[in-house]
């Protein structure tokens, strides 16, 4: 007990020392010029809170461990995946799903897709990429520019954006090849920022900070979602004999990103069981052992970078067509950090874990917008709690990609 008290006192003192310069003084703009004013009540609050919190932590028993999942849970996973997919398909038709819900679900799905794309690079190949948003940006700008300059439709631009992003991924992959671990993170972070700065400054091409607006919306096999379809096109509502509603496009976009995301997922599930996918995981585990087995790490790393970037490119062009407007502001480092947090929190390599993490990190803050700035506090708190409870991520269990007696 005295030990707990001493420990808490020490923590309180440290908090006071930290709070003094950060909270304790304030610049006051008065008639005579700037002067300092004390806010010692805040310092006292901070120190008191830390002291009390620390004491509480010491006195109450440690956090209970998360309930251990029953052993059979591994077999439930595909079922859980199917259930989630079914729910996602039905979502727009559920009674509570208004336009707002579907719109937010679309946003979450973008991040799920980005998470699944980055998972190839970080979760499988083990290359810590902090500049993933660059490929997302390349995809978005590819679509916007191709569509505006050459009048190409979304369906033509989507694969083109993927190809462009993938080539960009290969290009940016080269400088990273010789690096390991943390150094990869630093270099990719720099590359990501370079891309953003180029987009911001290349006025003639990208429109600079003003971005590109009026980006063409996608059509469904030539059926437009506009109230007044352009000449030579029919509108979706007219074709199916419905009354025009703006919701149609929202739901269409939702299904579009759902299909794109599920395609990403299927691809990853499949490639994990193929030589390339296994080589990615082997590279994450031990690069030197890989080389001793005749695996060329260069091609393995580049393929991971390229394929991850391709999916980011798809997601980027979807983002551009959904927003109708893009600017460099959408592609800041914060985006990379959120996508990486989704992958890490989900449990590095777990597909379902990424869905849960994306719901948590993107969905919750969106739904709790009313809480205003406190939602960021809750966001940080949630991350700390998850890392305390599940340091390896929400779902860190890994199923072998092949079993001796038959497929898993």
Partner 1 sequence: MTPSLLDVEHLTMRFGGLFAVNDLSFTAGNGEITAVIGPNGAGKTTLFNCITGFYKPQEGRIALNHPDGRMALERLDDHAIARRAGVARTFQNIRLFPRMSVLENLIVAQHTRLMRASMFSLAGLLGLRRYRRAEAAAVERARHWLDRTALTRFADDEAGSLPYGHQRRLEIARAMCTEPRLLCLDEPAAGLNPRESAELNRLLLDIRADEGIGLLLIEHDMSVVMGISDRVVVLDYGKKIAEGTPAEVRGDPAVIRAYLGEPDEAETG
Residues binding partner 1 (CB under 8 A) = 267, 270-271, 273-279, 281-282, 285-286, 288-297, 398, 400-404
Nearer to partner 1, 199 or 282 (CB): 282
Dihedral sign from CA coordinates of 196, 202, 208, 213: negative
Nearer to partner 1, 228 or 288 (CB): 288
Q: Judging by DSSP bridges, how do beta strands 325-326 and 212-213 pair with one another?
A: antiparallel
Find the shortest distance in angstroms from Cβ 161 to partner 1.
21
Burial code of 110-142, b = ≥16 C-beta within 10 A, e = fewer? bbbbbbbbbbbbbbbbbbbbbbbbbbbbbbbbb
Find the shortest distance in angstroms from Cβ 273 to partner 1.
8
Ranges assigned E (strand) in 14-98: 25-30, 33-38
Q: What gap in Å lies between CA 200 and CA 211, rounded to an integer?
A: 8
Find the shortest distance in angstroms from Cβ 330 to partner 1.
32
Q: What gap in Å lies between CA 268 and CA 261, rounded to an integer?
A: 11
Rg (CA), the chain: 25
Find the shortest distance in angstroms from Cβ 78 to partner 1.
17
Burial class (CB in 10 A: 0-12, 13-18, 19+), 171: middle
Find the shortest distance in angstroms from Cβ 113 to partner 1.
19
Nearer to partner 1, 80 or 274 (CB): 274
Nearer to partner 1, 123 or 211 (CB): 123
Find the shortest distance in angstroms from Cβ 335 to partner 1.
29
Query: Residue 297: in which H helix or E strand, if any?
Result: helix 297-323
Query: Residue 135: in which H helix or E strand, if any?
Result: helix 133-150
Nearer to partner 1, 55 or 295 (CB): 295
Nearer to partner 1, 58 or 278 (CB): 278
């Amino acid at each position: 007990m005295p030990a707990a008290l001493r420990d808490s006192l020490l923590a309180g003192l440290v908090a006071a020392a930290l709070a003094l310069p950060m909270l304790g003084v304030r610049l006051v703009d008065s008639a005579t010029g700037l002067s300092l004013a004390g806010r010692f009540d805040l310092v006292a609050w901070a120190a008191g809170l830390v002291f009390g919190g620390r004491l509480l932590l010491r006195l109450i028993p440690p956090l209970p461990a998360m309930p251990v999942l029953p052993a059979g849970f591994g077999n439930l996973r595909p079922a859980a995946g199917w259930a989630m997919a079914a729910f996602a398909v039905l979502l727009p038709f559920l009674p509570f799903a208004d336009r707002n819900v579907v719109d937010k679900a679309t946003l979450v799905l973008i991040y799920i897709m980005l998470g699944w794309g980055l998972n190839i690079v970080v979760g499988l190949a083990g290359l810590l990429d902090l500049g993933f948003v660059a490929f997302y940006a390349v995809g978005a700008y590819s679509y916007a520019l191709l569509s505006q300059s050459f009048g190409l439709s979304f369906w033509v631009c989507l694969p083109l954006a993927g190809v462009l992003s993938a080539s960009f991924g290969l290009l940016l992959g080269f400088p990273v090849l010789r690096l390991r671990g943390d150094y990869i993170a630093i270099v990719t972070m720099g590359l990501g920022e370079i891309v953003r700065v180029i987009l911001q400054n290349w006025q003639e091409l990208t429109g600079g900070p003003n971005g590109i607006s009026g980006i063409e919306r996608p059509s469904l096999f030539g059926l437009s979602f506009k109230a007044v379809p352009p000449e030579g096109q029919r509108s979706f509502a007219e074709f199916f004999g419905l009354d025009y509603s703006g919701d149609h496009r929202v739901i269409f976009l939702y299904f579009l990103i759902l299909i794109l995301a599920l395609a990403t997922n299927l691809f990853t599930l499949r490639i994990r069981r193929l030589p390339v996918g296994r080589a990615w995981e082997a590279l994450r585990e031990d690069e030197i052992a890989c080389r001793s087995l005749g695996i060329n790490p260069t091609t393995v790393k580049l393929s991971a970078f390229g394929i991850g970037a391709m999916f980011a490119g798809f997601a980027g062009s979807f983002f551009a067509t959904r927003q109708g407007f893009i600017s460099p502001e959408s592609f800041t480092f914060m985006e990379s950090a959120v996508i990486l947090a989704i992958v890490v929190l989900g449990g590095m390599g777990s597909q379902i874990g990424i869905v849960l993490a994306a719901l948590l990190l993107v969905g919750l803050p969106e739904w709790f917008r009313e809480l205003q700035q406190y939602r960021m506090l809750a966001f940080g708190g949630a991350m700390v709690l998850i890392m305390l409870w599940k340091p390896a991520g929400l779902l860190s269990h890994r199923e072998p990609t092949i079993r001796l007696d038959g497929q898993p």
